[in-house]
Amino acid sequence: MAEIVAQQTDLIDEEYFINMGPQHPSTHGVLRLLINLHGEIVNDVKPYCGYIHRGIEKMCERNTYPQIIHLTDRLDYLSAHQNNEAVCMLVENALEIEIPERVKYIRTIIDELSRLGSHQLWWAAFGMDLGALTTFFYGLRDREKILDIFEETTGSRLIQSYYCPGGLMYDIHPNFQKRVKEFLAYFKTKLPEYDELLSGNVIFINRTKDVGFLSKEDAISFGVTGPSGRGSGFACDIRKNIHTMCTTKYNSTKLFVPNAIHLLDTKFVLPKCGNLFRL
Amino acid sequence: MTNQELQQRILELAPQAVCTESKQYLTAHIPADKLYTVAKQLKESKDTKFDYLFSLTGVDANPALGVVYHLESTELGHCIVLQTMTENREQPMLDSLCDIWKGAELQEREVFDLFGISFNNHPDMRRLFMDDDWQGYPLRKDYVDTINIIDLIK
């Protein structure tokens, strides 16, 4: 592949191609990039996607609705509940099933916990990829607490398959409420610790500030949403968008959607976590 | 703009369009030759301003093949769904919307890879996930692959 790419472009002096293959600490085995480098400046990137494409859509064609939960779990395996929420909402809206209020509350709480867990892993791995190994330990230490709560209630730590179209597989564990409240109180005290660790660090700032700048128009045009979009000034949070017809309880909670100026700044994780919901 | 006004605007741009309204979105079936002009107008016109393409999905609706576009306006807040079909299953061709929404580029490559629908004026029309020499289009309903797909339902 590299030879074909090299033949198609004019090779300038000091410009060379590097294959950032699927086996690379940062690509995490899912992406292959052919990078056209000029020193340390990336001129062009040719991505080769599909290493993690598992044919889930095709498999879903052959399964019943409760069965596809086990497949869609694995779409974004760091926050498995949120994928299932989307699928369950889809089936429930299509079949016009009304789910109990209690289920809506439980689903919202568990969704947000899994979002917290996913974001923990994000910034932990991000710091680690930049060389700050401590962030990995701090982030995962607290993620383990969330996973312990999940294990008690759903039976499994990572890919839980807890939701099903129409409700939940089974009710929450009696300890669930107490443990979540304890965890949140503990987590709030840890947020300043994370802030102190990464946000002001001069190496982190130099490696991320103004690197890979994405303007707001480009972010909208490319469809970059979530934290990356917010880093570009595009405040897109699907939880707040009315047209998604959320069956969850986001309307009754105060949701602050921050708009960070720096791309990939850890600061936007913190206000998000801090204002998530009141139990 | 309300769904009524959007419907009117679509019918002005493409008189043969068929609009249906569901609980969530207004869906407009646009004939394939009018798709590009309608999409461009929807993006650039001041009162619609659909700048955010949040989903581009290929559809195999036997016997037609097509694409569904979900559009939203970040400023004005309204949404619309555009749908185009083509009856040609041997050489399906549709217009590319890459120069209107940049996110369409990779998504159209995915549709080409999995459904076989070719997009005119696409800067880089090649497969995305499968190998370059793969035969067949996996997400089509009549796709047969006895080696890789295990059919549990007989």
- Supply A158's token pair: 């990572």
Rounded-to-integer distance, Cα A265 and Cα B14, Å: 44
* R_g over Cα of chain A: 21
Asked if B139's CB is within 8 angstroms of A57's CB, the reply is yes
| A57, burial (CB in 10 Å: exposed 0-12, middle 13-18, buried 19+) | middle
Residue from B74, B99, B141 to probe the interface with A (highest A Cβ count within 10 Å): B74
Task: Select from A30, A32, A72, A26 the least CA-distant residue to A51.
Answer: A30
Q: Model confidence at A7, in pLDDT bands (50, 70, 90)? A: low
Asked if A57 is an interface residue toward chain B (Cβ–Cβ < 8 A), one would say yes
Asked if B23's CB is within 8 angstroms of A245's CB, the reply is yes
Residue from A32, A52, A54, A58 to probe the interface with B (highest B Cβ count within 10 Å): A58
Q: Please say if the pLDDT value at position A275 is more than 70.
A: no
pLDDT in the model for residue A262: 33
In this structure, are residues A225 and A236 in contact, taking their beta carbons and an 8 Å threshold? Answer: yes
Instruction: Say how many C-beta atoms besides its own lie within 10 A of residue A113's C-beta.
Output: 22
Asked if A223's CB is within 8 angstroms of B72's CB, the reply is no
Rounded-to-integer distance, Cα A150 and Cα B105, Å: 39
Q: Please say if the pLDDT value at position A273 is more than 50.
A: no
How does pLDDT run across A96-137, given as a tens digit for each residue?
888 888 898 899 889 889 988 988 898 888 888 888 899 899
B57 three-class SS: strand
Nearest-by-CA chain A residue for B100: A221
Asked if A50's CB is within 8 angstroms of B128's CB, the reply is yes
Nearest by CB: B52 against A50, A57, A223: A223
Asked if A62 is an interface residue toward chain B (Cβ–Cβ < 8 A), one would say yes
Asked if A243 is an interface residue toward chain B (Cβ–Cβ < 8 A), one would say yes
pLDDT in the model for residue A9: 54
pLDDT in the model for residue A215: 86
How does pLDDT run across A77-101, given as a tens digit for each residue?
888 998 999 999 889 988 988 888 8
How does pLDDT run across A8-62, given as a tens digit for each residue?
555 556 778 899 888 887 778 888 999 998 877 888 888 888 888 888 998 888 8
Rounded-to-integer distance, Cα B109 and Cα A53, Å: 14
pLDDT in the model for residue A180: 93
Q: What is the pTM of this model?
A: 0.82
How does pLDDT run across B97-106, given as a tens digit for each residue?
999 999 999 9
Asked if A254 is an interface residue toward chain B (Cβ–Cβ < 8 A), one would say no
Instruction: Say how many C-beta atoms besides its own lie within 10 A of residue B34's C-beta.
Output: 17
Residue from B21, B51, B52 to probe the interface with A (highest A Cβ count within 10 Å): B52
Q: Classify domain A56-274 by CATH architecture.
A: Orthogonal Bundle (1.10)
pLDDT in the model for residue A271: 39
Per-domain residue ranges for chain A?
Answer: 2-48, 56-274
Rounded-to-integer distance, Cα B94 and Cα B101, Å: 15
> Nearest CA of chain A to the CA of B52: how many Å?
6
Task: Select from A274, A82, A81, A76 the least CA-distant residue to A189.
Answer: A274
Size of interface A-B (CB pairs under 8 A): 45
Alpha helices in chain B (DSSP H): 3-13, 35-44, 104-115
Residue A44's DSSP bridge partners are A36
> Nearest CA of chain B to the CA of A272: how many Å?
21
Instruction: Say how many C-beta atoms besides its own lie within 10 A of residue A124's C-beta.
Output: 24
A32 phi and psi angles, rounded to 5 deg:
-125, 130
- The ipTM value here is 0.86
> Nearest CA of chain A to the CA of B57: how many Å?
12
Asked if A58's CB is within 8 angstroms of B149's CB, the reply is yes
The percent helix, strand, coil of chain B (3-state, each to 5) is 25, 25, 50
Q: Taking CB atoms and an 8 Å cutoff, what residues of chain B touch A225?
A: 54
What domains lie within chain B, and their CATH numbers? 3-120 (3.30.460.80)
Q: Which amino acid is residue B96, in one-letter code? A: S
* % of chain A at pLDDT higher than 70: 80
Nearest by CB: A220 against B74, B77, B129: B74
> Averaged over B67-78, what is the pLDDT?
89
Q: Model confidence at A152, in pLDDT bands (50, 70, 90)? A: very high
Residue from B68, B102, B133 to probe the interface with A (highest A Cβ count within 10 Å): B102
Residue A145: C-alpha distances to residues A23, A151, A180, A184, B53 (Å)? 30, 10, 9, 10, 37
pLDDT in the model for residue A131: 86
pLDDT in the model for residue A93: 87
> Nearest CA of chain A to the CA of B13: how many Å?
23
How does pLDDT run across A248-264, given as a tens digit for each residue?
555 444 444 444 333 33
